[in-house]
Amino acid sequence: MLSGCYLRNGAEFYIAINNKGLWPNLTMLPGGEIGAVVYNQPSHGYGEGDVELWVSGDGGTLWELRSVVSDHSEDPELVRMNHAAGLNANGDFVVLVSGHSAGRRPPTLPVQVCISSDGGETWRRQVTDIPHIPFGDIVCKPDGTVVSAMYTSEAADVDCGPPGVVLLASEDGGLTWNEWQRLPGNCNETALLRCSNGRWLAAMRTLAPVRDDVLYYSGGPLQLTISEDEGRTWSSPMPVSLPCQHPAHLLELHDGRILLTYGSRIPGQHGVVVRLSDDYGESWSMPEPLISVSAQTDCGYPSSVQLEDGLIVTAYYFGKQPHTPQDAPPTSVPWHHHYHMGVARWYAG
């Protein structure tokens, strides 16, 4: 039954959230809890809904729903699903959410800013005029400015410029945002990290050309670009994964190493891969699977935090392929056939 599956030796694995939990984003909350912002429908963005906050107070083994983060009450057919999350300089929880209409119909929804000052119990929300799609961790600079990576969408009903990734910055804790910089290359979902030495890393999901006038989101490898001047200029991107492995998450561990995790949809190797760097992204260890299955499944999108004792908590999701007929055999992990947020608790060694 488990033929073709791999689970990292010594790691603990949990089904954390059942029948929902896509695109998890983990944040260590000021009180020591782990917050997971997730999409609350069991589909790849096809069901009307919102993003929710689930919280673990025991280091990632048990999770409970705390609140619905976004709101789509202006239209019951809207789908708020794409999100970026992080803390501002005051410790407020900031979540940026976009999406589309039911059935993944365009146009792209403008970003809704959601801010909580009470650990996610309640939220202040406002819809902006930002037409881009947020992704990954919101980074807080030493001066208190918060930065989010967003990618442009051809499905938007306004001119967003060429396909690619823009960095938006907020100087008021996340209330208002202005376009700041554009990253190099034709990319979309991008993980940002500001390292303790001041270096910035951006791991970008590349768009692979399928013909001269079309870019396809899935084919290319992850590309890493580096900034040494607080994000104002960036190096030429370099690949850090094989094709069909995306998107990424970046975390600086307590010992200064950088953890890179990313999804894999290589046939026969669907799951999550990890790499480590001890020189702030200059070089990386060999890729190692954290979890892998042979089924052609909808999966990936890891996000990690590290606890005080060094334990790493990595969330990801698995589920049925988006276009698989309802009566087809399950195509997920063999031990759980529903969409779900899974969690691995492990040490980097």
- Taking the C-alpha atoms of residue 218 and residue 240, their distance in angstroms, rounded to an integer, is 15
pLDDT at position 3, please?
Answer: 80
* Res. 154: pLDDT tops 70: no
Nearest in space to 216 (alpha carbons), one of 167, 265, 271: 265
* Res. 58: pLDDT tops 50: yes
159 vs 53, which has greater pLDDT? 53
212 vs 178, which has greater pLDDT? 178
Contact yes or no for 21/286 (Cβ under 8 A): no
Domains of the chain: 6-346 (2.120.10.10)
* Res. 7: pLDDT tops 50: yes
pLDDT tens, 237-257?
A: 999 999 889 999 999 999 999
| Confidence at 182, pLDDT banded by 50, 70, 90 | very high
pLDDT at position 217, please?
Answer: 45
DSSP string, 304-318: EEE-TTS-EEEEEEE
The three-state secondary structure class of 161 is coil
pLDDT tens, 191-200?
A: 999 999 999 9
| Confidence at 156, pLDDT banded by 50, 70, 90 | very low
- Taking the C-alpha atoms of residue 93 and residue 97, their distance in angstroms, rounded to an integer, is 13
pLDDT at position 155, please?
Answer: 46
* Res. 322: pLDDT tops 90: no
pLDDT at position 216, please?
Answer: 44
pLDDT at position 159, please?
Answer: 52
pLDDT at position 219, please?
Answer: 67
* Res. 213: pLDDT tops 80: no
- Taking the C-alpha atoms of residue 19 and residue 31, their distance in angstroms, rounded to an integer, is 28
The three-point CA angle 280-9-28 to 5° equals: 50
The three-point CA angle 96-119-142 to 5° equals: 65
pLDDT at position 215, please?
Answer: 43
Least confident of 175-184, 201-210, 212-221, 292-301: 212-221
pTM of the model: 0.94
- Strand 258-266's sheet: what is its strand order? 6-7, 288-293, 269-277, 258-266, 245-252
Query: Mean pLDDT across the stretch 329-349?
Result: 89
